[in-house]
Amino acid sequence: MKHHMYFSKQDPNYSMLKEIFNFINSRKSHEIIASFRIKPVKTFVNDLKIWYLSVFFNYELSFVVDELNNNSKLRKLCNIDHVPTVSSIQT
């Protein structure tokens, strides 16, 4: 059984993720992504954050998507308004 992904400001993993997500959300990052003609940029950035959470904590994408759907603090950390489905992330 997997543990839930609880957000805590004291956890160094989440602090590091917050910094990474701030970089991914930056205007410069969006310009770089757009230069590769990836559209829509916001969707790609959200998918990248979810994928990064999955890799960072060694969880399956489906688990991360479920956690994002159930945890508003985690969505706020990731700055994700709408959580996509697993199948749309994998394509």
Q: Render each residue's pLDDT in the chain as its tens digit; 91 residues.
A: 567 777 777 888 888 888 999 999 999 999 999 999 998 999 999 999 999 999 888 899 999 999 999 988 888 888 998 899 999 986 6
pLDDT (0 to 100) of residue 27: 96
Is 1 contained in some domain? no
pLDDT (0 to 100) of residue 1: 55
The DSSP-derived string for 44-75 is: HHHHHHHHHHHHHHT--HHHHHHHHHH-HHHH
21 residue type, one letter: F
pLDDT (0 to 100) of residue 61: 93
Is 5 contained in some domain? no
Structural domain that includes position 70: 12-90
Q: Are 50 and 81 in contact (CB under 8 A)?
A: no
Counting the structural domains of the chain, the total is 1
Is 30 contained in some domain? yes
In 10 A of CB 34, how many CB atoms? 13
